[in-house]
Amino acid sequence: MNVPRVVIFNDTHGWHSEQLTTALRQRGIETILCDLAECHIDLDSPTGLTIPGLDDELPAAVIVRGIAPGYLEQITLRMDVLHTLAELGVPVFNPASAIEHTVDKARTSLRLHLAGLTTPRTWACENIDSARRIVTRQLDNGISLVMKPLFGCQGKGIALIDTMQAFEQQNPVGDAFYLQEYVQPEQTGTWQDWRLLVIDGEISAAMSRSSSHWITNYAQGANCFATPVSDEMRQLALNATAAVNADYAGVDLIRTVDGQFSVLEVNSVPAWKGLYQATGKDVAGDIANAIVKRIEEVASSHHAV
């Protein structure tokens, strides 16, 4: 019997790939570490695709852990590979549609809003005069804003806009203005939010992040610790994950001064090192179980034909 082979896509493989490789090996699955940028379309191949390490075969499943930055054309080709794999019946975790819904923050905000989920008020445009009017209007109403790169993660490149001078000093990436209402902390001088990791409709792990700075990302030095999950938090995280069509996702929640939770962001290629250190939860094991389930479902469907 052939050993199932799962491809892990990332442009830089490290701790997360090692965790997944170990978890999958324990379940009798071989892994191939690959970069989507190294794959290519080849119509001489029976599948139309060439994936390093697989010859003309298809993997049993795919885990997308990261996609390198690139030009629009390069990203499009990488999405073509993921779309095609799914069309060929290969479980893709997460599918290209989920990545497309979360790769830019404006798209995520729209998906959350149209799903009726609570999320901070947000504006996005590419005209500086329009952005300036938005900022002026909100500042006049006593509302500060946070400017974020449309494509970005780990709290990098974000800025607090509490004056027009602060806005004018910004140089937005790609001339795209993504502006989100700044959520005031419940307690002055302490900022806190929550990261919930959803896998297959269940909360795998959850942590709270606190900092003396308004940026509370683990990568920016926030303190992380395990936290209980209320029914409100759980349902909001599950609904947010479903709204972006993700199999697994890191959902960031924040609590407003009135005590209500709101979805800040949804990440379809979430890291979980901070979660692991805070909770000790075997997240890689949960992902591996989800992959095994998909491989078995594909096998069962083939036997049924």
pLDDT at 266 over 70: yes
For residue 151, is pLDDT > 90?
no
> How high is the pLDDT of residue 188?
65
Give the whole-angstrom CA distance, residue 180 versus residue 51: 39
Q: Would you mind telling me the total number of residues written for the chain in this entry?
A: 305
CA-to-CA dists, residue 173 to 71, 92, 157, 162, 269, angstroms:
14, 30, 9, 20, 21
**pLDDT digits 0-9 by tens, 179-233:** 999 998 776 667 889 999 999 999 999 999 888 777 776 666 678 899 999 999 9
CB atoms within 10 A of CB 264: 23
From residue 303, how far is each of 89, 296, 297, 298, 300 by CA, in Å?
A: 14, 11, 10, 9, 5
3-state secondary structure of 93: strand
Tell me 253's DSSP state. Answer: E
Using alpha carbons, select from 7, 6, 14 the residue that is nearest to residue 271.
Answer: 14
Residue 150, both tokens: 């449309």
Q: What is the mean pLDDT of residues 94-106?
A: 94
Q: How far is CA 188 from the centre of its chain?
A: 29
Answering whether pTM is above 0.85, one says: yes
What is the dihedral angle through the alpha carbons of 145, 148, 154, 155, rounded to the nearest 10 degrees? -40
Distance CA 109, CA 116 (A): 11
From 36-40, 105-109, 152-156, the region with the lowest mean pLDDT: 152-156
142: left (phi over 0), alpha (psi -120 to 50) or beta: left
- Identical topology for domains 122-181 and 188-270: no
Q: How would residue 141 be classed by pLDDT, with cut points 50, 70 and 90?
A: very high
- For position 304, what pLDDT does the model report? 60
- Averaged pLDDT for residues 103-126: 96
pLDDT tier at 1 (50, 70, 90 boundaries)?
low
Note the pLDDT of residue 98: 96
pLDDT of 220? 63
Average pLDDT, the chain: 92
- Answer whether residue 267 shows pLDDT above 90: yes
CATH number assigned to the domain covering 5-93+285-303: 3.40.50.20
Q: Report the phi/psi class of residue 154: left, alpha or beta, with left for phi > 0 and alpha for psi in -120 to 50.
A: left
Q: Where are the alpha helices (DSSP H) in the chain?
A: 15-25, 72-87, 96-102, 105-114, 128-140, 164-168, 231-243, 273-279, 283-304
Q: Are strands 5-9 and 30-34 parallel, antiparallel or unpaired?
A: parallel
Comparing 72 with 115, which gets the higher pLDDT?
115
Q: Parse the chain into domains and list their residue ranges.
A: 5-93+285-303, 122-181, 188-270
Output the CATH code of domain 122-181.
Answer: 3.30.1490
CATH of the structural domain 188-270, one choice from 3.40.50.1980, 1.10.10.10, 3.90.1150.10, 3.30.470.20 = 3.30.470.20
